[in-house]
Amino acid sequence: MTIAASKFESLELQGVGRSFGGIDALVDLNLTVRAGEFIALLGPSGCGKSTALNCLAGLLPLTHGQILIDGKRVDTVAAENRGFGMVFQNYALFPHLTVEKNIAFGLQMRKVPKPELKSRVAEAIALVKLEQHAKKLPGQLSGGQQQRVAIARAVVMEPRLVLMDEPLSNLDAKLRLEMRTEIRRLHQSLGLTTLYVTHDQEEALSMADRLVVLRDGRVQQIGTPEQLHNSPVNWHVADFMGYRNLIDLDVTAVHGSTVTVEDRGFILRGTAVQPVTVGAKVRAAIRPEDLVVVSSAVPVQGGNTTTATVSVVEYHGREFAVGVTTPGGRGLHVRSDHAPAVGSVVELTADPARVLVFPADPIDPSTLSIEERELAEVRR
């Protein structure tokens, strides 16, 4: 593979922000990227992730902070001179140029000599397995093929940095999974530093070396997939990372970092992420796979048990996803190895270490994104 990354040591975003028309689209982003890293920018719509990417690309100006590569400022350089490759959400292929010419475009801008250009383009086409379609126009390609052209077009220039703006969101589910693996494979073999924007936490977790979770223009957490999956720092991040069970409860007892929380008869023991006192209002977050129905094969964990009434049962192959209702009327998503009868009362258990307890901050409706608002409506 002769496509190699142009090397740099580090990319630094210092206090990067963009405010426009009274709205703070992005605030105080601090991030250091090492060469070869795959970083995912993750968050609900409106969180500022695309803004961050476009600022990095030079398509939008910063209003605060600076971007440095190996200590040299990059944010004052025009987009066409930064040498970054970019893959757009809707591919943005040149509709009047063939696949080959699309990929060759960037090299022509750099005035790469013809023979070298031809061989590099051929290599890139082979890399994304589009040899048979090289002379076609984008209009004649399927969505997935167009996306592969977009990727080839970005990497053929051997850029210092590859920026991807939700490249998979327009593909259907199966293709999305395949392309995810493809992109990961490409990253591993080419070693190109990549910044990848997505709103799909599964995608981010599976592809990234590190994730940056954004909400409302602000960074919530930066960490490895493991850290974000197991130790979200606040309930927003937990909610976004798939902790579908969010329950408002009161603290009834505190033993070090283990707390007992309760809501009208629904009692659990969990781990407090920040110190809380008895009587405080908190929000517990539990992943559906961590909250299970007790059965002969599934014993009680950590002495943690409580009860709820079954409302929905879904078949999921090896297990069942069960929707239950707490005595207080809250809906929860749990797992079970058998199908309980709808309406019956079941015993639930969870490892206290996997019940994360966060302080409950009031939700300001005006800061919620459209998705969040809709979710809240449906969850009622």
Partner 1 sequence: MAMQTASSGVPDVDAPQPPARVKKKAAAQAPGERSLVASPTTWVVWAGIAAFFIFLIGILISVVVDSFGKSWFSTWLPESFTKSWYTGAWGTFDLTHIIGVTLTVAVAVIIISVVVGVPAAYLLARRNFPLKKTVTLLFLLPVLMPPITYGIPLATVMYNVGLGRTLTAVILVNLVPSVPFVIMTMTPFIEQINPAIENAARMSGASMRKVFTKILMPLLIPGILAASILVLVRTVGMFDLTFLVSGPKSDTLVVAIYRAMTAAGGGEARQLISSMAVIYTVTMMIILIVALRFVSPTQLVARVKESRED
Partner 2 sequence: MSAPTIARPKPTKSTKSTASLRHRLAERGIDTSLLMLVPALFFALALFVYPFSYGIGLTFQPTSAIQQQWGAGVFSNYAAFFKDPFVFDSIWLTMRLALPAALFNVVASIPVAFKLRQRFRGKKFLTTLLVLPITLGTVLTAQGLLIFAGRQGWLNRFLLQIGVIHQPLALVNNTLGVMFSLIISGFPFAFLLISSYLSGIDPSIEAAAKTMGADWKQRFRRVILPLLAPGLATTFILTFVLAFSVFPSARLVGDAMGSTRVMALMAYRAFGEQTDYGMASTIAIMMGAVELVVIAIVLLWRSSMYKGSTGGKG
Which residues bind to partner 2, rule: CB under 8 A?
A: 57-59, 78-86, 88-90, 92-96, 105-106, 109-110, 137, 139, 153, 157, 163
Nearer to partner 1, 220 or 349 (CB): 220
45 in contact with partner 1 (CB under 8 A): yes
The item of partner 2, partner 1, none sharing an interface with residue 373, based on CB under 5 to 8 Å by kind, is partner 1
SS3 of 212, please? strand
59 in contact with partner 1 (CB under 8 A): yes
Between 237 and 266, how does the x/- string for binding to partner 1 read (CB under 8 A)? -----------x------------------
The item of partner 1, partner 2, none sharing an interface with residue 109, based on CB under 5 to 8 Å by kind, is partner 2
Cα distance between residue 37 and residue 16, in whole Å: 19
The item of partner 1, partner 2, none sharing an interface with residue 95, based on CB under 5 to 8 Å by kind, is partner 2
Q: List the one residue out of 264, 262, 266, 265 whose CA is nearest residue 279.
A: 262
Q: Which of residues 277-296 bind partner 1 (CB under 8 A)?
A: 281
Q: List the one residue out of 49, 14, 11, 375 whose CA is nearest residue 212.
A: 49
Q: List the one residue out of 244, 243, 283 whose CA is nearest residue 263.
A: 283
Q: List the one residue out of 269, 290, 283 whose CA is nearest residue 358.
A: 283
Q: Applying CB under 8 A, which of residues 31, 46, 180, 195 lies at the interface with partner 1?
A: 46
Q: How far is the CB of 136 from partner 2 (least distance, A)?
A: 12
Between 21 and 40, how does the x/- string for binding to partner 1 read (CB under 8 A)? xx-xx-x-------------
Cα distance between residue 261 and residue 58, in whole Å: 49
Which residue shows structure tokens 């991807």? 164
- 378, containing H or E segment: helix 370-379
Q: Record the tokens describing residue 347, joined without a space.
A: 């015993």
Q: How far is the CB of 148 from partner 2 (least distance, A)?
A: 15
Nearer to partner 1, 51 or 349 (CB): 51
The residue count of the chain comes to 380
Q: Give the number of other Cβ atoms within 10 Å of residue 262's Cβ.
A: 15
The item of partner 2, partner 1, none sharing an interface with residue 377, based on CB under 5 to 8 Å by kind, is partner 1
Cα distance between residue 134 and residue 125, in whole Å: 7
Show Cβ contacts of residue 342 under 8 Å, excluding neighbours closer than 6 positions: 310, 311, 312, 313
Q: How far is the CB of 113 from partner 2 (least distance, A)?
A: 16
Contact residues toward partner 1 (CB under 8 A) are 18-22, 24-25, 27, 45-51, 54, 58-64, 75-81, 248, 281, 360-366, 373, 376-377, 380
